[in-house]
Amino acid sequence: MLAEIADFLVIAIPQFCFGYPFVMSWYWILGGGIFYLLRERHMTPQDQPEPLDHWPPISILVPCYNEGENAAETLATACAVDYPDFEVIAINDGSRDNTAEVLDRLAATLPRLRVVHLAANQGKATALNVGGLMAKHEIIVGIDGDALLDPQALRWIARAFQSGVVGGLGGNPRIRNRTSLLGRLQVGEFSSIVGLIRRAQTMNGRMFTVSGVICAFRKRALQDAGWWSPRTITDDIDITWRVQLAGWRVIYEPNAIVWILMPETLTGLWRQRLRWAEGGAQMMVDFFKPVMSLRRPGLVAPYLNNLLSIVWAYITVACIGVGLLWSVGLAPPELLPGFQLVPEWWGLTLTITYLVQAVVSHLVESRYERNMLRTLFWMIWYPMAFWLIGTATTVAALPRALFKPRKERTTWISPDRGLR
């Protein structure tokens, strides 16, 4: 009996390693395609949002830490958006560069801008909470200190909040820096993977996370959720789950575009993705009891899927390890008869899947960028890199999330904004 189970696992485990990305890719393809057919296809062009009888006032929060090089462009762009009634609040979170001087100079010339200086670095979540308490309006939009807000983004956000059940939304980040190989790869990632994932999750009714670089919430939803938690390493994942556990819906609004800078070095990319993976693992720990109490049954499926992705990462690393041992003759084939590192047909199957994923994402994303064909090559191949990077960071991040002492306040480090 045990021998039969062992023989089954030897064959089934490699199938799972390739089958899980296959199933998830098709879930994203179908979910993203349905979102496009039912919603996006019928929308007016992105630069021509349909008017509302009344445009609700909006508060834009811009937390800044060591953003002296980017703050002027970010805040000038935010203050120039095409919207009738809004304010911009910049929160300087104890920056050590010239951010304070830049913000004060801008406040003297931009009437919509208010500036708050915190005495010490207390973290992005604390900065957002300070800005949220100062905000005059019910709808609160958060962007990063390097983000350039699209002129029509606020109009699309306001339209999304016409539904009374929507408590939060994530916008559509677009990569600005595309001169390096890593920059172009991440254009493919945000188009062929991230955008499809968030469309599929919106159709499913539950989001794993908004993008912290462009998100919006009702103030009531933030109050119900207890505001942003300063103890988490990824404030965007944490607040998304808090708002949904409070009974609000969180959605993806692809027309709310923001242009951002991304890491263009392997070290910067690794640190960013490790932080994301650690934040996801922290979420699994923090929200186990609330989710499994079935207070919000709809959150159980995305929670279990994230748990499955962690299991998949560790099993995949184990399979790769066995394959490497075989390749150098340290693990004789008779030790695990029937084991195949790459099961028959899976290589071709995943290649075709990633090609379909790239074509679908190109058709969907061409609404927002006309020259997406230039990145089609990177869209095809990046899913493989996405899964490999995700595997490595997940395996490294889980022990950190489980065993590293948690600080009362998670403070900032200066992020990688790309090559200068």
Q: Specify the range with the lowest mean pLDDT, choosing from 25-34, 221-230, 369-378.
A: 369-378
Measured over the CA atoms of residue 176, residue 178, residue 183 and residue 184, the dihedral's sign is positive
Residue 2 has pLDDT above 70, yes or no: no
Query: Phi-psi category of 215—alpha, beta or left, where left has phi over 0 and alpha has psi -120 to 50?
Result: beta
- The separation between CA 305 and the C-alpha centre of its own chain, rounded to angstroms, equals 16
Pairing mode, strands 214-218 and 86-93? unpaired
Q: Which is more confident, 140 or 393?
A: 140
Tokens of 5: 């189970």
**Predicted TM-score of the model (pTM):** 0.89
| Strand 166-175, strand 214-218: pairing | antiparallel
Place of tokens 């595309």: 178
* Closest C-alpha to 165, from 209, 221, 207: 221
| Predicted pLDDT of residue 416 | 62
Helix (H, G, I), strand (E, B) or coil at 368: coil
For residues 176-205, give the mean pLDDT: 79
Residue predicted with more confidence, 7 or 358: 358
Strand extents, DSSP E, 261-372: none
**For residue range 34-91, what is the model confidence (pLDDT) as tens digits?**
999 999 988 999 989 999 999 999 999 999 999 888 899 999 999 999 999 999 999 9
Asked if residue 194 has pLDDT above 70, the reply is yes
Span 170-182, pLDDT tens digits:
999 988 877 776 7
The reported pLDDT for the residue numbered 195 is 87
pLDDT, residue 114, reads 95
356 falls in which pLDDT band (50, 70, 90)? confident
Q: Is the CB of residue 140 less than 8 Å from the CB of residue 216?
A: yes
342-347: long-range contacts, CB 8 A cutoff, minimum separation 24: 342/14, 342/18, 343/11, 343/14, 343/15, 343/18, 346/15, 346/18, 346/19, 346/22
Residue 336 clears pLDDT 60, i.e. is over it: no
Please check whether residue 90 is in contact with residue 113, taking contact to mean a CB–CB distance below 8 angstroms. Answer: yes
CA 316 from chain centre, in angstroms, equals 23
Nearest residue to 393 (alpha-carbon basis) of 266, 208, 303, 300: 266
Residue-wise pLDDT tens digits, 366-413: 888 776 666 666 566 666 677 778 888 888 888 888 887 777 667 766
Q: Which pLDDT does position 144 carry in this prediction?
A: 92
- The answer, yes or no, to whether residue 354 has pLDDT greater than 70, is yes
Instruction: Give the pair of three-digit tokens for residue 336.
Output: 């695990």
Q: Set out the domains of the chain in order of their start, with CATH numbers.
A: 2-28+299-403 (no CATH), 44-286 (3.90.550.10)
The region of weakest confidence among 88-92, 292-296, 339-343, 364-368 is 339-343
The SS3 of residue 221 is helix
> Residue 398 CA to chain centroid, in angstroms?
18
What are the distances in angstroms from CA 204 to CA 32, 284, 305, 313?
10, 20, 13, 24
* The pLDDT value given to residue 388: 79
Structure tokens at 86: 């809004």
Average pLDDT, the chain: 85
Residues 158 and 239: beta-carbon distance below 8 Å:
no
Which residue in this structure is represented by tokens 């990462």? 313
Cα separation, 124 vs 351, whole angstroms: 39
Structure tokens at 310: 């962690």
